[in-house]
Amino acid sequence: MVTYITRRLLLVPVLLFGVTVLIFLMLQFLTPVERATLYVRDIPKNNNAISGIIKQYGLDQPLYVQYWRWLVGHTVGGERKGGILFGDFGYSRTASQPVADLIRLRFPNTLDLTIWAVAPVILVGIWLGVQAAVHQNSIIDQAARIFSIVGTSFPTFVFGLLMLMLFYVKLGWFPPGRISDWASIIVRSPDFHHYTSLLTFDALLNGRLDVFWDALRHMLMPILTLSYISWATFLRVTRSSMLETLRMEYVTTARAKGLSEHDVVFKHAQPNAMIPVVTLAGFSVIGLLGGVVITETVFNFPGIGQAAANAAAQLDVVTVLGFALFDGLILIVANLVVDVMYAVVDPRVRLS
């Protein structure tokens, strides 16, 4: 166990180095002037000033020098500029604020969405898979199979647009966006305390059930969309893992000693069948945390995915790369957590 975790921890710096190098190399496609927004806000118009900046920030230096500077920043007049290690990801031209501030502003929204989406995405998907496996080859199984194939074939944005057409335009139940205007006025008022900066939790802590319900109502369509597209995968993995476990001899033993079918399935088979599902669940939480670009964009939900898509549509590369870097860091840590969890759940992994 200790060896496994140590080996896994040693991989973290390697991945950190790799991801930063990959993003740095992608930055090299930009002209030195475009890269200057990593360090300065206003790019001057006249050529002399521009070449002055290129010189000053060493944007014409060899790659390894630039990489180092990109990591630790430049000290200009006693003041550090840039430096991703210090959390300075450059200046977003399109959002007119530092990329790090933009991330700080948007990430709580993505986190809020993730927290509310986790239960429906994972639990319902697993439940469907168990049902399909227990009733193998019955109508339930066939229906689950069709449901899953249709689910994997639906592009997120098409599904999202159809949801908007039905639930927003036709029925008027769930609006897109983050929060209604009236609620937004309350949230911005000085009486409303931002304890966690997660909107739904702040609303609860402030005792504003109306604001809470409004924020949740805006998230229902994204949650439903994310659920539908992930259920297909959960269903398939859970079903096949469950089927495999149900064929094992210890399950036959459990049946033979006269346990009820319910106990056999849910007490004996299911816990072991959940091992591969745990990994999948981990990865899907990671995916949600990384910002779901398409879903957030379709429903105009102001998370980090939508911010990245907006910046990309306006060809603001420095901003998008800032998001990629942030995502990369989150994902490396989250992957580590999932792998360790996996070793805890499955003794075969930590012994190999």
**Chain positions contacting other proteins, by CB under 8 A:** 11, 14-15, 18-19, 21-22, 26, 29-30, 145, 149-150, 152-158, 161-162, 164-165, 168-170, 176, 240, 244, 287, 290-291, 293-294, 297-298, 305, 308-309, 312-313, 315, 317, 320-321, 323-324, 327-328, 331-332, 335
**Is the CB of 9 or the CB of 150 nearer to other proteins?**
150
Quote the CA–CA distance of 173 and 177 in Å, as a whole number: 13
Give the residue with the Cβ less far from other proteins, 59 or 203. 59
Considering beta carbons, is residue 73 or 328 the nearer one to other proteins?
Answer: 328
Q: Least distance (Å) from other proteins to the CB of residue 339?
A: 12
Is the CB of residue 145 less than 8 Å from the CB of residue 226?
Answer: no
Residue placing its CB nearer to other proteins in the complex, 118 or 259: 118
Return the HEC string of 161-188: HHHHHHHHHHCCCCCCCCCCHHHHHHHH
Q: How far is the CB of 247 from other proteins (least distance, A)?
A: 9
| Comparison of 14 and 76: residue with beta carbon closer to other proteins | 14
Of 202 and 282, CB closest to other proteins: 282
Helix (H, G, I), strand (E, B) or coil at 58: coil
Shortest distance, position 166 Cβ to other proteins, whole Å? 9
Contact 322, 99 (CB under 8 A): yes
Asked whether 98 and 206 are in contact (CB, 8 A), the reply is: no
- Closest CB to other proteins among residues 58, 287: 287
Using N-to-C axis directions, what is the helix angle for 99-119 and 304-313, rounded to 10°? 130
Min CB(332)–other proteins separation in Å: 6
Backbone CA torsion sign across 263, 265, 269, 273: negative
Q: How far is the CB of 173 from other proteins (least distance, A)?
A: 14
**Nearest Cα to 103, choosing from 314, 281, 324?**
324
261 burial type by CB count under 10 A (0-12 exposed, 13-18 middle, 19+ buried): exposed
Q: How near is the Cβ of 314 to other proteins at its closest, in Å?
A: 9
**Nearer to other proteins (CB atom), residue 170 or residue 257:** 170
At closest approach, how far in Å is the CB of 304 from other proteins?
9
Q: What is the rounded CA–CA span in Å between residue 327 and residue 161?
A: 26
Residue located via tokens 């020098």? 65
- Residue 25 tokens read as 């190399």
State in angstroms the smallest separation of the CB of 287 from other proteins: 7
Q: Which two tokens stand for residue 84?
A: 């991703």
